[in-house]
Structure 1
Amino acid sequence: MYSKAETSRIRKEFWIRFGQYMKPVPNAAGRRINWPNYKTGVKDIYFRMRAERDFASIGIEITHSDTELQELFYDQFMQFKRILENQVGEEWTWKLHQENEFGQFISKVEKVKEGLNVMEEKDWPEIISFLKPRIIALDEFWDLVKPGFENY
């Protein structure tokens, strides 16, 4: 069992390592980017990567507090579903109005890989191998579709 401080330290170390690994990779526009803290540039739309004790995941989260506007964003992403799947090379899971760990209703599109544990350093290469191509593909997808979300 890990203490809270040890858990925090290990997670922080993983994300630092991931950031260092991704640092030389430019975004779709050819610029330097902070991959672990990816900024979409559109309010209430986030790209989230998670590395937990039993899974790793990457996804798009729509967090607008107005559920009707959240659904509008979600529907817009649905219109781009084929483009997203072509970019990432796989199907992702789509969830409208799901309650998150903070009791907020969000909508998300995500890919989860079970059986990975960020607390085990031996799993880090596999977590990185899972996240890296997907965040790069997600960035390329966003470069194509972002203009459709900027007027909200």
Structure 2
Amino acid sequence: MYTREQASQMRQAFWTTFGQYMAPIPSAEGMRINWSNYKTGLKNVYFRMRAEKKAASIGIEMTHRDLEIQQMFFEQFQALKLVLHETLGETWEWELHAQDELGETISRIYTELPAVNVFNKDDWGTLITFFKPRIIALDEFWTDAQYAFDSLK
């Protein structure tokens, strides 16, 4: 078992390793990018990667406090669902108005990898292999799809 500080250091070490691994890879537009802290350019819309003790996940999260606006963003992503899934090469889960770990209402589009542990360095390769193609595909999707959200800014 790790102390809170040790757990924080281990997570930070993983994300630093992931960032170093991804650093040479340019965005779909050929620009340098911070893959671990991807900026969509839309307030309250995030590409989130999580690595925990029992699983990992990657997804798009909409966190706007106004649930009607959150739903409008979700519906805009639904209009692009086929393109998103084609770009990802897989089908993801879709949740409108779900509860996050803090009890906040969010909407999300995501996929999970069960049975991995960020605190086990032996799993880091598996985690990187899970995150890498998906965050690159999200970036590729977002390069064109972001313009569909201009009216919602």
| Shorter-normalised TM range | over 0.9
Matches within 5 A, 1:16-95: 16-95=16-95
Distance 1:134 1:101 in 2: 23
Aligned Cα RMSD in Å? 0.6
Distance 1:88 1:128 in 2: 16
Q: What is the letter of the counterpart of residue 40 of structure 2?
A: T
Q: What is the letter of the counterpart of residue 113 of structure 1?
A: L
- Give the TM-score normalised by the residue count of structure 1: 0.99
Matches within 5 A, 1:133-152: 133-152=133-152
Contact 1:70 1:107 in 2 (8 A): yes
Structure 1 residue runs of 4+, over 2 Å off?
none
Gaps (5+ residues) in structure 1? none
Contact 1:25 1:32 in 2 (8 A): yes
| Offset at residue 151 of structure 1 (A) | 2.6
| Offset at residue 102 of structure 1 (A) | 1.3
Classify the secondary structure of the residue corresponding to 1:17.
Answer: helix
Gaps (5+ residues) in structure 2? none
Q: What is the letter of the counterpart of residue 106 of structure 2?
A: I
Aligned residues: 152
